Amino acid sequence: MDNAPWAPAGLPAREYLLVMLTAAAATFLLTGLVRLLAIRVGAVAYPRKRDVHVKPMPRMGGVAMYGGVLVAMFLAANLPTLSRGFSYSNDILAVVIAGGLIVLVGALDDRFELDSLTKLAGQVTAAGILVLFGVQWFMFWVPWGGGDAGHVGQLMVLGSNQGQLLTVLLVVAMINAMNFVDGLDGLASGIGLVSATATFVFCLGVLDRQGGDVNAYPPALIAAAIAGACLGFLPYNFQPAKIFMGDSGSMLIGLMLATASTSASGRMNYAYMNPTDTIALLSPLLVVAAVLFVPLLDLIMAVVRRTRAGKSPFHADKMHLHHRLLEIGHSQRRAVLLIYLWAAVIAFGAVSLTLFNAVVVAWVVGLGVLLAAIISVIPRMRTRADRESR
């Protein structure tokens, strides 16, 4: 039997699409059952002063999403092409085990309201599991230094401890960023879908540049699985929601996005550093930044705002980005769709830099940002116009 680490000619796009659709279908079917289970065990979110929903809502939807991921991974392990990726990397096994732990911690929080330190311990442990299985950053390119002619920037090689610490910090930051942004019906699941799809497209590009190397299969598979899980959960979660994903879902999305990006970074070819390779070398960091941008910006703003007010960084309020959009005058659905637009412009803009002409991408992204900005302020402009007409 041929065990060489390369795939047949062409990319296994159909297999990845089948995995994504399977994750979506399995999650959709499981969500109804998990909703009944959440009600029975008392995993219900009751309205609080800072919340947008006005009636008790079952949560723990992340359990159904994880079930969809497991079904998708089981299918992939039995497909002729994708199954080979399980033999050359432990990344998929790592994310399944770490995902199971983070969903367990999240489900307990959805039911019993765990304290912040307990959740943080669970997040760090899950990130540690990834590191133990070899999912970590080993090196990355930075745009400074590198004085040789024809070379841009330099390659930074991380020591074992540095790479492990960076990986843990990235995973914990992504988990909490997705958790912070989960404030409106369909918001976290939609951003997860957009971000995972963009990451998946990027990972396919990496796989293509590697000539179909089986070692490059895992990041695309991880991204496809969580994209499908978000897609399958969204019909239950979009406004008006029938169930919340809870911490079990938002933390799972964050963990898998961080894992896919970290896994993809290790598949890049860092042997050459010249102007023509700059975009390719930067693409892992660009994708990570794009995936993190919307929730991480919200996280940073919340921490700064609460610290300046003399409150704990974990003190909850109603000043997140989605709350501000509601105050401006957007409806829940329009606010969520608008944040989808911002996330898509950033994520797909970053990925497009590795696939198309940079000038064309810059123009398209610029127009997308301008369109999103105009749509964001339209309600406020209408309010001012109404006041002036009076």
Handedness of CA 69, 224, 253, 141 (dihedral sign): positive
Q: What does the block give as tokens for 310?
A: 């003399």
- In the three-class reduction of DSSP (H, G, I as helix; E, B as strand; rest coil), residue 272 is classed as coil
User: Hey, how many other C-beta atoms are within 10 angstroms of the C-beta on 290?
Assistant: 25
C-alpha gyration radius of the chain: 21
Q: Which amino acid is at 240?
A: P
Q: What does the block give as tokens for 361?
A: 């991408």
Q: Which amino acid is at 56?
A: P
Residue 242 DSSP symbol: S
Binding residues for Mg(2+): 179, 247
**8 Å CB contact between 315 and 306:** yes
Q: What does the block give as tokens for 189?
A: 């699941």
DSSP for 148-172 reads STT--SEEEEPPHHHHHHHHHHHHH
57: left (phi over 0), alpha (psi -120 to 50) or beta: beta
Rounded to 5°, the CA angle 216-218-60 comes to 155
Binding residues: 179, 247
Q: What does the block give as tokens for 335?
A: 């606010």
